[in-house]
Structure formats: structure tokens, C-alpha cells
Amino acid sequence: MNVTASFLLRAKHWQVFILVCGLYFVGQMALVGSILTSPTPHEVFAKGGLLAGLLMSLSTLGIFVWFWSLGSFFSSIVQPELRMKSGFFRVALVYPPFYFVFFVATLQNSSPELLGLILPLHIFAMVCMFYLLHFVSKSLVLAETSKSASFYDYAGPFFLLWFFPVGIWIVQPRVNRLYSERKNTEPPIEATLR
């Protein structure tokens, strides 16, 4: 497991909240500050819009890295016969951030052809986001219970992850508990080398 995933799995709920929502808030404040100090809208994107866009992109990337950490970890501790296939999970992690950049770039250009292309790409990005929520929430329940789960069983974590600013405070302690249990049950390195 790499350092980033390990940090996000050990991090307290307030640390994940600050990492994800704090960057977003700073980006929004930078954009609002730019709008208030700029006499024309074009100067907003030239001065503060770039900083705000960068901070908001980092915040969005933080959410996807958090989902990647959770999904990968839960998938690794779920019993093999219950484990969900992770092929589309990887696609769902990669596509929306790239689409987000494309979408923002397309908004700068009002070409009808590009705007016609956005709808199917946007719908696919939404499908990917819902799949991420499904994969992570179901894997969480599978890791906790070690038995198959229906949507009724993982609907709570699903909606908590969907409304992540609130869900972080409830889901992350569960992640911390699973991570610490996993670390306590792993054999020491010397024992695995024999």
C-alpha cells in the first residue's frame, strides 16, 4: 500500500474533511475575491480564476484519491468470493477528473458541436460517479460483515459518501477501525519472510 493511501486510511475524519472541503472552500473564496476586485469578468479568469480552478481541481482530485484509497483497501480485505471486480472501478476513477478538465475548457468555447458532445460525456461521468459510490459503499459493508450485501445493506454508506461533506465524519471512523484491525492482524515482516 502506498503512502498516500495509508495516510488517507489512517487520517481522522477532520483531516480528510480539511483536505477535501478546505481546498474547495479556499478555491471558492479566491474566485469570489477575484470577482469582487475585478472591474470586468474577463479579468476574473485571467487573475483569480486560474488559482480558483487549480484549487477546486485539487479538491476534486482529493475526493477521487480518497475513493481510490477506500475502494482499493476494502477490496483487498474482502473475502475473494465476495470481492467485486475492479475493472470499471478503475475507469470510473480516471474518467471524471479528465472529463472535468474537458468540460471547463469547453465552457470557454461555445461551439455547438462541442456542446452537443458534452451531454453523453457528462452522462457517462455521472454513471462513473455513481459507480464509485456503489463500489466503495458496498465494499465497505462487505469488509465489515463478510457476507453478501444488497443495496438495502449498503444504502447508508452510499448516501453518506454521496453527501461526502457530512459522510466523511461518519464513514472515516469506520475506515479507521477497519484499517487498524487489519494492521493489528497482519503478521510481522519477520514472520512472513520465513
Confidence at residue 55, expressed as pLDDT on a 0 to 100 scale: 63
Q: b/e per residue, 33-45, with b = 16+ CB within 10 A? A: ebeeebeeeeebe
> Is 15's pLDDT higher than 80?
yes
- Choice between 144 and 115, residue whose per-residue pLDDT is larger: 144
- Residue 8's contacts (CB-CB under 8 Å, 6 or more residues apart) are 16, 65, 66, 69, 70
Query: Per-residue pLDDT tens for 59-78?
Result: 778 888 889 999 999 999 99
Residues 31, 52: contact at Cβ < 8 Å?
yes
Global confidence as pTM? 0.79
> Is 21's pLDDT higher than 70?
yes
Mean pLDDT of the chain: 80
Confidence at residue 49, expressed as pLDDT on a 0 to 100 scale: 53
Query: Per-residue pLDDT tens for 91-111?
Result: 999 998 888 777 766 666 667
Confidence at residue 34, expressed as pLDDT on a 0 to 100 scale: 67
Confidence at residue 91, expressed as pLDDT on a 0 to 100 scale: 94
Confidence at residue 124, expressed as pLDDT on a 0 to 100 scale: 95
CA distance linking residue 107 with residue 118, whole number of Å: 10
- Give rounded-to-5 percent helix, strand, coil for the chain: 85, 0, 15
- Choice between 51 and 118, residue whose per-residue pLDDT is larger: 118
- Choice between 139 and 43, residue whose per-residue pLDDT is larger: 139
Question: Sorting pLDDT into bands at 50, 70 and 90, what band is 136?
Answer: very high
